[in-house]
Amino acid sequence: MSRQSDRPIATVALSPSVALWLLFLIGSVSSSTHAVNIAFQTDCRGRYQRLWCNFKINLFIPVSKMAAEYSVEQLPSPLSQLGEGPVWDVDTQSLYYVDINGAAILRYDYAENKTYSAKIDGVDPISPIILVQGKPGQYVLGTGNKIVLVNWDGRSERGTLVKTLYDLGESEKHVRFNDGKVDPQGRLYAGTMQLETLGDIMQQKEGKLFRFDGKAGGEFHLLKAGVSISNGLTWPENSNKFYYIDSVALDIKEYDVLENGDLQNETVFYDLRVDGKSPGYVADGMTHDNDGNLYVATWGGSKLLKINPKSKKIEQEIAIPAKQVTSAAFGGPQMDELFVTTAHTGNQDPPAGALFRVTGLGARGKPMDKMILRD
């Protein structure tokens, strides 16, 4: 065996009386195995003043599990309380997203490497943000149990409310919209969850998933009820499949999509449980690349999962320096950069809540579709 690399990638220090350093020296053994050397140094301050334990273990890891050479960069942006819903706009070369609890819409300008933020009177909380086909400067937002239309120039600190497009009514006053996206036909799919102020959202199933046909004169249709936290959704091209996340369910569902946008044949595409138990995080937002691979944000997991739709296995884990990873979207001039939103709810230190960019993944996506909205 020849060692090709001797670079440290992790160091852990304990209390003064017991110092422990882990030094991982990774070298290729073959196309499918890797070797790891681990060195322990322990000062017991007792009978043995210093004890060294040096040993080597071989890890047999499939190449598909090894991370690609990617880079993660924190972009200049406000630290969002609950960043969500990233969507790339080709026309402005910008990434739009929201701070749900901060009641703000944001735009990262790629050319300027700068993020602009705005608030809208009477619109709180906010999620998602949706681009409108043929109407630059207008955006569809979810706020509480309503879907509204707003104007924003992308730079000012204030936007303006134009009108309410959809109102779920008094029977849905206890919920708010969470994640939402537009399908290839220009229809908005958006889901709800119980308001956080009304109790433990992990224990309730008050949410629903709706479809809003803007081009059909404001109709909306119930697609799924009994949802806890309606979250990630995406439609890989040329698959006639729809993937959907209810975070509390700890899985990703797959559906066939009918011509009218209805869903049928629900199956579990991927179960996050490990040996029947929670992995310690839940799935949040989601996107896909041009090969149909899913990129799933993990709330509490500090990473994105890249899942192959054919093998239904995790191909890659993309580490993000924030615990609460909320969503992701491909963008950039070549559509090969992955933008990642995060949150800093609870006891989280910076850079939690920042916007990140991941490069070097060797994957491309497509711009998210815009909503077709009839006056």
Q: Does residue 364 sit within a domain? A: no
Q: Give the mean pLDDT of 349-353.
A: 96
What 3-state class would DSSP assign to 62?
A: coil
More confident residue, 325 or 368: 325
In angstroms, rounded to a whole number, what is the distance separating the alpha carbons of residues 318 and 306? 8
| Residue range 155-195, pLDDT digits in tens | 999 999 999 999 999 999 999 999 999 999 999 999 999 99
In angstroms, rounded to a whole number, what is the distance separating the alpha carbons of residues 230 and 211? 13
Q: DSSP code of 199?
A: S
Domain shared by 83 and 40, yes or no: no
Domain shared by 77 and 37, yes or no: no
Q: Above pLDDT 90, what percent of the chain?
A: 75
| Residue range 144-163, pLDDT digits in tens | 999 999 999 999 999 999 99
Task: Return the structure tokens found at 192.
Answer: 């709800």
Tell me which residue of 187, 110, 104 sits closest to 152, measured CA to CA: 104
**What pLDDT does 204 receive?**
84
Domain shared by 7 and 80, yes or no: no
Q: Does residue 300 sit within a domain? A: yes
Q: Does residue 372 sit within a domain? A: no
Q: Are 177 and 192 in contact (CB under 8 A)?
A: yes
Domain shared by 152 and 52, yes or no: no
Domain shared by 20 and 107, yes or no: no
Catalytic site positions: 284
Domain shared by 212 and 300, yes or no: yes
Q: Does residue 365 sit within a domain? A: no
pLDDT band at residue 202 using 50, 70 and 90 as cut-offs: confident
**What pLDDT does 238 receive?**
83
Backbone Cα Rg of the chain:
23
Q: Give the mean pLDDT of 224-237.
A: 97
What 3-state class would DSSP assign to 197?
A: helix
In angstroms, rounded to a whole number, what is the distance separating the alpha carbons of residues 363 and 217? 38
Angle at 190 between CA 187 and CA 191, to 5 degrees: 155
Q: Are 290 and 364 in contact (CB under 8 A)?
A: yes
Annotated binding site for substrate: 176, 178, 196
Q: Does residue 367 sit within a domain? A: no
* pLDDT over 50 at 9, yes or no: no
**What pLDDT does 30 receive?**
30
Q: Are 359 and 75 in contact (CB under 8 A)?
A: no
Kind and range of the H or E element at 212? strand 207-213
In angstroms, rounded to a whole number, what is the distance separating the alpha carbons of residues 298 and 79? 18
Q: Does residue 369 sit within a domain? A: no
Please say which residue of 61, 89, 107 terminates a domain.
61
> How many other β-carbons are positioned within 10 Å of the β-carbon of residue 17?
10
Q: Give the mean pLDDT of 221-241.
A: 95
Domain shared by 86 and 45, yes or no: no
Q: Between β-strands 158-167 and 114-120, what pairing exists: parallel, antiparallel or unpaired? A: parallel
Q: Look up the domain containing 37 and give its range.
A: 1-61
Domain shared by 24 and 152, yes or no: no
Domain shared by 99 and 242, yes or no: yes
Q: Between β-strands 263-271 and 313-319, what pairing exists: parallel, antiparallel or unpaired? A: unpaired
* pLDDT over 70 at 197, yes or no: yes
Q: Does residue 268 sit within a domain? A: yes
Please say which residue of 10, 33, 61 terminates a domain.
61
Tell me which residue of 190, 176, 181, 188 sits closest to 143, measured CA to CA: 176
Q: Does residue 6 sit within a domain? A: yes
Domain shared by 85 and 13, yes or no: no
| Residue range 132-143, pLDDT digits in tens | 999 999 999 999
Annotated binding site for a divalent metal cation: 84, 231, 284
In angstroms, rounded to a whole number, what is the distance separating the alpha carbons of residues 147 and 143? 6
In angstroms, rounded to a whole number, what is the distance separating the alpha carbons of residues 122 and 82? 19
Q: Give the mean pLDDT of 110-128.
A: 98
Tell me which residue of 142, 153, 227, 229 sits closest to 181, measured CA to CA: 142
Tell me which residue of 190, 257, 270 sits closest to 227, measured CA to CA: 190
In angstroms, rounded to a whole number, what is the distance separating the alpha carbons of residues 163 and 52? 70
Domain shared by 312 and 234, yes or no: yes
Annotate 240-269 with DSSP letters as a single string.
-EEEEEEGGGTEEEEEEE-TTS-EEEEEEE
Q: DSSP code of 297?
A: E
Average pLDDT, whole number, for the chain?
Answer: 85
In angstroms, rounded to a whole number, what is the distance separating the alpha carbons of residues 148 and 161? 7
Total domain count for the chain? 2
In this structure, what are the phi and psi dihedrals at residue 350, rounded to the nearest 5 degrees? -55, 145
* pLDDT over 70 at 50, yes or no: no
Which amino acid is residue 130, in one-letter code? Answer: I
pLDDT band at residue 258 using 50, 70 and 90 as cut-offs: very high
**What pLDDT does 216 receive?**
65
Please give the model's pTM, rounded to 2 decimal places.
0.82
Measured between alpha carbons, how far apart are the two ends of the chain, in Å? 69
Report the helix count and the strand count for the chain, using DSSP H and E. Answer: 0, 27
**What pLDDT does 140 receive?**
98
Domain shared by 124 and 193, yes or no: yes
**What pLDDT does 179 receive?**
98
In angstroms, rounded to a whole number, what is the distance separating the alpha carbons of residues 97 and 91? 16
Q: DSSP code of 371?
A: B
* pLDDT over 60 at 85, yes or no: yes
Return the CATH number at 180. 2.120.10.30
Q: Give the mean pLDDT of 39-44.
A: 43
